[in-house]
Structure 1
Amino acid sequence: MSGLVLAAGCVLWRRSPEGRTEICLVHRPRYDDWSFPKGKLKRGETALEGALREVLEETGHRCAPGAVLPTALYTANGRPKEVSYWAAEAGGGTFVPNDEVDRLAWLPPESARALLTRPGDRVQLDACVGSLRPAA
């Protein structure tokens, strides 16, 4: 078993025009899965820097990080993986499909919960939703 893989990402959210919370999920064709934008850290990069970079690369959106969410620990490709997460409000940007992420969906939390491929990701989703203030 090789060393620990460090990664980071965000549960990206926004308010719909009606004031409802929407969660962003990305589809990765390589794994045929729906997940939060995330990825491996680059050398010398902090977890937060990596999370913000991954959100921008995978969704085309800038974001404002908020609450720290529970860390995900699991095995991927035979190696232990630790993913640090933040709740992050989406800012401006435009999604452009690419080889890594071919689809993006903005969904109500309950729909996002059902679409997530890894059941363990629901921990971060629930923590994110719980950290948000109700719309004014």
Structure 2
Amino acid sequence: MNDTVVRASGCVLWRRSASGGVELALVFRPKWSDWSWPKGKLKKGETARAAALREVREETGHTCRLGPALPTARYTDHAGRDKEVRYWVAESTGGAFAANDEVSDLVWLPPAEARERLTYEHDKELIPPTLTAIGVTQHS
């Protein structure tokens, strides 16, 4: 067993839709062929909060305002390493997506559709606490 834990940070990025509902941002990473939240490994000396903000900017093109912390996800990554990802709820404050080396697509979806699109169960588990944190009472 590997004693080194890979530390990462990310956000459940959200915005209000034109109809007043909530949309969540998912990114597609072709290297892993998965839909997930914007996230990534901490750089040396970087705080988890700073990494979360950086990763959202790099992967979505959006800036954001961090809200409450969400449960930390712990799992084994594709390389068999233990991984720990700290998440925050984050409201988009603007930006525009451009595909890059890590992320080829970004979609904004209502919570129920986001749940269906997400690849990993540990990502789906973050939707209810996110909606509670932003004051959405119906978990659609």
TM-score, with normalisation over the residues of structure 2? Answer: 0.93
- Give, in angstroms, the shift of residue 32 of structure 1: 0.5
Mind listing any 5+ residue stretches in structure 2 that lack a counterpart?
Answer: none
- Give, in angstroms, the shift of residue 133 of structure 1: 2.0
Contact conserved, 1:7 with 1:84, CA < 8 A, in 2? yes
- Secondary structure (helix, strand or coil) at the match of 1:78 reads coil
- Secondary structure (helix, strand or coil) at the match of 1:70 reads coil
Question: Equivalent of 1:82, from 71, 74, 84?
Answer: 84
Task: Map residues 79-118 of structure 1 onto 2, 5 A cutoff.
Answer: 79-118=81-120
Give the equivalent residue in structure 1 for 2:52: 51
**Which amino acid in 2 is paired with 1:104?**
L
Mind listing any 5+ residue stretches in structure 1 that lack a counterpart?
Answer: none
Task: Map residues 1-136 of structure 1 onto 2, 5 A cutoff.
Answer: 1-2=1-2, 3-76=4-77, 77-134=79-136
More strand by share: 1
**Which amino acid in 1 is paired with 2:64?**
C
- Give, in angstroms, the shift of residue 20 of structure 1: 0.4
Give distance in 1, aligned partners of 2:128 and 2:29. Answer: 22
Give distance in 1, aligned partners of 2:14 and 2:33. Answer: 22
Taking only aligned residues, the RMSD between alpha carbons, in angstroms, comes to 1.2
> What stretches of structure 1 move > 6 A for 4+ residues in a row?
none
Q: Number of residue pairs matched?
A: 135
Contact conserved, 1:70 with 1:123, CA < 8 A, in 2? no
Give distance in 1, aligned partners of 2:125 and 2:66. Answer: 18
Give distance in 2, aligned partners of 1:82 and 1:124. Answer: 14
Render the CA deviation track for 1:80-124: whole Å, top value 9, x for unaligned: 000000000001111001121000000000000010000111121
**Which amino acid in 1 is paired with 2:21?**
R
Give distance in 2, aligned partners of 1:99 and 1:45. Answer: 22
Identity level (%) = 55
Contact conserved, 1:10 with 1:51, CA < 8 A, in 2? yes
